[in-house]
Structure 1
Amino acid sequence: MIALIKSLPKPVRRNFVPAPNYAEAFLGRVTPLELPLLDSLEREFRRMTGTTIDREDWNWDQVPDHLKVSFRVVDEKNRKLQEGRSLTALKEALKGKVQETLSAVADDGIEQSGLHIWSFGQLPESYEQKRGNYKVKAWPALVDERDSVAIKLFDNPQEQQQMMWRGLRRLLLLNIPSPIKYLHEKLPNKAKLGLYFNPYGKVLDLIDDCISCGVDKLINEAGRPGLDGRGVWPTARKSPRRAERYRGRDC
């Protein structure tokens, strides 16, 4: 903490001397893990002195390496897989390995592919299984595979929600008749000509975007994508006219 304070530019640093005293005062005021470190430092030092510290004022290059956090990722046999000071870089480097592990620990049947209707019951919000000395936690979601959907496991709930929305959208699209034939038959020629000269690219791509937008609205009105099939899926399945009405609305 002292080294981090000393990394500040001199015009800013002079507001926090002696550095050891401010480091001690900060540690006595802050709630552990309440905020990221720099957010907490900036907030508490502003409260103590009225001085605002800009994020670019912190110079991590001046902090000795032995004082920086280092992360080591090990397997179930405690063998090192990767090590580094950037957690983000480690996650990216091991993303493929993580997905392999998630698939390996999945019970038979939890991961599926080639699905066209909600025929798989309720998905668990999260999934845990012991692997060696560790517990592997995963989050299942529907995944858009264009002509079908799949159930796959993800390593964080944020990606689960993102993929679940896209997967549910695809599942609905697969179960609602396409309006393209209707548009070809019913749209006046002047409207068709206007579509061909739209500034957004190919006509079919534009129509697909509008359809997806309508389905997104249906999902949004039914609440966030659920893991149990309640809400938007029964609405579209039992009331196709309502679902088709959304598909015909403007984006």
Structure 2
Amino acid sequence: MFARTAACIDPSWIEPIAKRLCKSSYHSASWDATRGFVRVKERVTLFGLVLVEGRTRDYSRIEPAEARAIFIREGLVAGAFPAPVPPCLTANLARIRTLLDAEEKTRQHGGLFDPETAFAFYDTRLPPELCSAADLRRWLRENATASDAMTLTEADLPPVRDLSLAYPDAVTLSGNRLALTYRHAQGEADDGITCTVPAAVLPLAAAWRSEWLVPGLLDEKLRWMVHVLPTRYRRLLQPVDETLSMCRSRLTPGHRALAEAFSDALYAARGVRVPTDCWHEDAVPDHLRMRFAVQDEAGRELGSGRNIALLVNVFAPRSEGAGAAVQTPDARWQKDGLTQWDFGALPAQLDVGKAGWPIIHYPALVDAGDTASLRLFATPAEAAAAHDKGVCRLFALALGKEWKRVMQPPSLPRDVAAYVKQLDMSAERLGQELARAALRETFTEGRPPIRDAAAFQERLAAERGRLHGVHLARSRLVVAILHAARGVEHDLLAAALPPDTQEDLAEQLAWLIFPGFAESIPAAQLQHLPRYLEACRVRIQRAQGNPHGDTRKLNELKPLWQRYTRHVALAEPPRHDPALLADYRWQIEEQRVSLFAQELRTPAPVSAKRLDALWAQVLLP
């Protein structure tokens, strides 16, 4: 017993004495993201006796090549670099993050970003001896061109298409911006899209048709819906790709329940009526169902799930008394009988909720005939459209007798007067429309909105002298347009054209020239009507000699045009951006010029692909 006690030694005593006889082995090399170097575990033995186990060593002093590879993969490519991070590396990580985010959204891990490509980029640029964060910082300081050499460019990584339309980062509901996050993690709870929702906004989120997901995932969901249909329906919808292609233009996302809208689209496209009870949303794969993460006012997560009704029942009551209820606006924002700007400044928007998450309304003036009114709107686009007309009414009242003179009927050539009468219009009505259009063009069109009395008076004083000239120029342009339209109608009636061509040209003319066109079409578009009408004449001439060519081009145009006409024909169309919808309508006219009278040229490039992209922006979530 004494010998064992007396002979007890500390293994750490042996290593310094018998260093030449000791053997070291290394394992578990890893990147230390805090200290910025590659560390490794060391084991020291003497004749099999373990003297040291798990001592941390700097791996670059042992295997510099392997340490350098780990440094590049973990510290540079993976981005686990300790602060401060060099600007070039920050930029590189942002580019890589864009690719990784795109992979999550499109659910194709490894399809865009190849770590080996990034590894090779750094490997060819870094000196062989560089193995740590400190080494990299020192090298960047001592070499003026090193930072540029270390910065990834577009040529070094695969291009990423713009995913902002197909996979938006947020959805806006009545002024509330709700973040959308994407994760490709099959089997995990957060697989797919997660919408982060404040508890106070849960009832609003429940009213959102979230089963439509986002444009980038809708096709996959529709394909799945067809796939799980009973056989008696599914076999009638083959091939599926063709069926979906026929249905896309018939779907208006978010306006109705997806099951109802898809059933109607299938019936219109294939003549197959699928009962809505054949669709089972609960059986949809998780990544094709919107997931909601509910937060309190401090941003803490209260719960999550894919059943929004259940989340509302559980968490919405917690927002009571927390400032989420919408307050009724006071009488300041509900006024009638306004004849001058004596009601104070109008804010661009109002937070009509209590403390906490915003619920926004938008005040605007409204044209009420002989006076103006003040109202609140749910969207900025609706408010802007109404406000322009309301402000113009106040300008007309401020002009007094000058306005009455501008309202006089124009003098029309005999042929134009006859054509105006044919359109079920009159010179008096045309005069009023031209006057209102000239008023808008002079004071508000293309200008920042007026929201206070000082700006109103300043605009009135600065621009009222232009009104007569603007009115005269617009009147002459409209007369020229009416003369050209009469000629197109004459040629159309006299020409022998295929029925579809005849019908399309007649429809186009009706959409260009109609009672009220002189007022409702903005100056920026009105100036192009002579070219559109000339394109009609060119098309009529060519279609007589090559009817099949005209029909082929018309078939390209029809889907683009029909989705617009169907949209505006709805009594309650889906939420959309009015400005973008108007832009789409006029881009269709430019597409007609490009297809049927290319020599007349278009102000900007136009194509079916560009129109598809624009339409995706028209529809609001």
The reply to whether TM is greater than 0.5 is yes
Output the CA distance in 2 between the equivalents of 1:161 and 1:181: 25
Output the CA distance in 2 between the equivalents of 1:25 and 1:181: 58
Matched ranges for 1:213-232 at <5 A = 213-220=437-444, 223-229=447-453
Q: 1:142 touches 1:164 (CA, 8 Å); kept in 2?
A: yes
1:151 maps to a residue whose letter is L
1:64 maps to a residue whose letter is H
Q: Does 1:26 align with 2:107?
A: yes
Going from structure 1 to structure 2, the CA distance change for 1:228 and 1:182 (only over 3 Å counts) comes to closer
Output the CA distance in 1 between the equivalents of 2:398 and 2:445: 18
Q: Which moved more, 1:56-65 or 1:139-148?
A: 56-65
Q: Which moved more, 1:35-44 or 1:157-166?
A: 35-44
Q: CA deviation at 1:196?
A: 7.7
Output the CA distance in 1 between the equivalents of 2:408 and 2:348: 40
SS of equivalent residue, structure 2 residue 460:
helix
Q: Deviations over 1:174-195 (max 9, x none)?
A: 22223448857xx87x869975
SS of equivalent residue, structure 1 residue 117:
coil
Q: Does 1:149 align with 2:372?
A: yes
Q: Deviations over 1:130-174 (max 9, x none)?
A: 369975421000101001001100111111111111112222222
Q: Does 1:178 align with 2:403?
A: yes
Matched ranges for 1:196-211 at <5 A = 198-199=420-421, 200=423, 201-211=425-435
Q: Deviations over 1:88-130 (max 9, x none)?
A: xxxxxxxxxxxxx98x722332322111122223210111133
SS of equivalent residue, structure 1 residue 178:
helix
Q: Which has the higher helix share?
A: 2
Structure 1: 5+ residue runs without aligned partners?
1-21, 45-50, 80-100
Output the CA distance in 2 between the equivalents of 1:107 and 1:165: 23
SS of equivalent residue, structure 1 residue 113:
strand
Question: For the pair shown, which has the larger CA radius of gyration, 1 or 2?
Answer: 2
Q: 1:149 touches 1:171 (CA, 8 Å); kept in 2?
A: yes
Residue in structure 1 matched with residue 333 of structure 2 by the alignment: 110
Q: 1:118 touches 1:229 (CA, 8 Å); kept in 2?
A: yes
Q: CA deviation at 1:229?
A: 5.0
Q: Does 1:137 align with 2:360?
A: yes
Q: CA deviation at 1:33?
A: 3.3
Q: 2:442 touches 2:463 (CA, 8 Å); kept in 1?
A: no
Q: Which moved more, 1:55-64 or 1:154-163?
A: 55-64
Q: Does 1:128 align with 2:351?
A: yes
Matched ranges for 1:1-80 at <5 A = 26=107, 33-34=168-169, 37-41=213-217, 54=245, 56=247, 60=259, 63-66=279-282
Q: CA deviation at 1:241?
A: 3.0
The structure with higher relative contact order (CA 8 Å, sep 6+) is 1
2:426 maps to a residue whose letter is K
Output the CA distance in 2 between the equivalents of 1:247 and 1:181: 8
Going from structure 1 to structure 2, the CA distance change for 1:196 and 1:233 (only over 3 Å counts) comes to farther
Going from structure 1 to structure 2, the CA distance change for 1:118 and 1:232 (only over 3 Å counts) comes to closer
Output the CA distance in 2 between the equivalents of 1:112 and 1:197: 42
Q: 1:142 touches 1:152 (CA, 8 Å); kept in 2?
A: yes
Question: Scaled by the length of structure 2, what TM-score is found?
Answer: 0.26
Q: 1:111 touches 1:152 (CA, 8 Å); kept in 2?
A: yes
Output the CA distance in 1 between the equivalents of 2:414 and 2:459: 31
Q: 1:235 touches 1:243 (CA, 8 Å); kept in 2?
A: no
Output the CA distance in 2 between the equivalents of 1:33 and 1:182: 47
Going from structure 1 to structure 2, the CA distance change for 1:222 and 1:26 (only over 3 Å counts) comes to closer
Q: Does 1:161 align with 2:377?
A: no
Going from structure 1 to structure 2, the CA distance change for 1:232 and 1:245 (only over 3 Å counts) comes to farther
Output the CA distance in 2 between the equivalents of 1:125 and 1:181: 32
SS of equivalent residue, structure 1 residue 54:
helix
Q: 2:349 touches 2:360 (CA, 8 Å); kept in 1?
A: yes
Residue in structure 2 matched with residue 246 of structure 1 by the alignment: 470
Q: 1:140 touches 1:152 (CA, 8 Å); kept in 2?
A: yes
Question: Scaled by the length of structure 1, what TM-score is found?
Answer: 0.56
Output the CA distance in 1 between the equivalents of 2:414 and 2:460: 28
Q: CA deviation at 1:64?
A: 1.3
Going from structure 1 to structure 2, the CA distance change for 1:248 and 1:71 (only over 3 Å counts) comes to farther
Q: Deviations over 1:16-52 (max 9, x none)?
A: xxxxxx99962869786348845223799xxxxxx99
Residue in structure 2 matched with residue 96 of structure 1 by the alignment: none
Q: 2:372 touches 2:390 (CA, 8 Å); kept in 1?
A: yes
Q: Which moved more, 1:142-151 or 1:238-247?
A: 238-247
Q: 1:211 touches 1:248 (CA, 8 Å); kept in 2?
A: no
Output the CA distance in 1 between the equivalents of 2:280 and 2:407: 68
Q: 1:179 touches 1:248 (CA, 8 Å); kept in 2?
A: no
Q: 1:222 touches 1:231 (CA, 8 Å); kept in 2?
A: no
Output the CA distance in 1 between the equivalents of 2:308 and 2:431: 48
CA RMSD of aligned residues (A): 4.6
Going from structure 1 to structure 2, the CA distance change for 1:239 and 1:159 (only over 3 Å counts) comes to closer
Count of residue pairs brought into register by the alignment: 195
Output the CA distance in 2 between the equivalents of 1:150 and 1:127: 17
1:108 maps to a residue whose letter is A
Q: 1:140 touches 1:151 (CA, 8 Å); kept in 2?
A: yes
